[in-house]
Amino acid sequence: MVANPHLPVLLDLLGVFAAAVAGAFAGLRKGLDLVGILVIAVASSLGGGMIRDALIGATPVAAISDWRYFAVALGATAAVLSVTSRRMSDSKLKSAIEEVRGRAVRLDRIALVADALTLGLFAVSGTLKALNYHLPVFQAALLGTVTATGGGVVRDVLVNEVPMVLQRELYAVPAFVGGLLFALLERHGFVVQGYLAAAGSVVITAAIRLVAVWRDWHAPRPGAVA
């Protein structure tokens, strides 16, 4: 179905990288120590794929049986920590409070982009794996949505917050749209090989998510329906 056998793993590893970056920033914002940051980055970047593989019976799950998943999560966390700690020492002269405020804004912005990319990458990788397990288009997009939102739910529940997927900006919707788009492209042979369909679907998912945040798009509340 998909021409290139490396595509699923490539999407997964890119998704793990982006998710670990978003997870490490969540840990930094919560004031966790290095081990806590590592735990949350690993759990949230590997969690979505673990749930996906357990649900379709692709066991042992790839996030455990393939060492590159953990290595990428570790590398992404190390990258975040080295960049953020260097910045911190560059700005010794600023007052502590200002610096923390300025950093928080920048961190939130990077974390948001990383989170949107995670959403797109895992939506497509989950959809693709489901197609390879012979699920139909709609169900494949549903598994893609579970994969894409699962890791973020793990992250938010671990730090004891109401998961982003329940909050006002669109989160699950772009994942489902991206997964469905990819599944339809794959099934109808609009692409010579999977890379282009995959890249396009990832970008569209992430773009919808980011525009939803920046323009404060959200679904109406039921009160507004009446």
> Which residues sit at the interface with its own copies, rule CB under 8 A?
27-28, 30-40, 50, 53-57, 59-61, 64-67, 70, 81, 84-86, 88-89, 130, 133, 135-136, 138-139, 142-143, 146, 153, 157-163, 165-168, 170-173, 218-223, 225-226
Q: Which is nearer to its own copies, 75 or 191 (CB)?
A: 75
Q: Which is nearer to its own copies, 45 or 200 (CB)?
A: 45
Q: How far is residue 25 CA from its own chain's centroid?
A: 13
Q: Which is nearer to its own copies, 102 or 136 (CB)?
A: 136
Q: Which is nearer to its own copies, 142 or 197 (CB)?
A: 142
Q: From the CB of 89, what's the least distance to its own copies, in Å?
A: 4
Q: From the CB of 158, what's the least distance to its own copies, in Å?
A: 6
Distance, CA of 40 to CA of 219 (rounded, Å):
29
Q: From the CB of 195, what's the least distance to its own copies, in Å?
A: 26
Q: From the CB of 127, what's the least distance to its own copies, in Å?
A: 12
Q: Which is nearer to its own copies, 172 or 199 (CB)?
A: 172
Q: List Cβ neighbours of 130 (8 Å cut-off, separation of 6 or more).
A: 56, 139, 140, 143, 144
Which tokens in the block code for residue 213?
Answer: 């945040």
Q: List Cβ neighbours of 32 (8 Å cut-off, separation of 6 or more).
A: 40
Q: From the CB of 40, what's the least distance to its own copies, in Å?
A: 6
C-alpha distance from residue 59 to each of 6, 56, 136 (Å): 19, 9, 21
Q: From the CB of 105, what's the least distance to its own copies, in Å?
A: 17
Q: From the CB of 149, what's the least distance to its own copies, in Å?
A: 8
DSSP 163-200: -GGGSSB--HHHHHHHHHHHHHHHHTT-SSSHHHHHHH
Q: Which is nearer to its own copies, 36 or 75 (CB)?
A: 36
Which tokens in the block code for residue 139?
Answer: 């169900």
Distance, CA of 162 to CA of 61 (rounded, Å):
27
Q: Which is nearer to its own copies, 59 or 193 (CB)?
A: 59
C-alpha distance from residue 224 to each of 150, 220, 221 (Å): 29, 6, 6
Which tokens in the block code for residue 192?
Answer: 């010579």
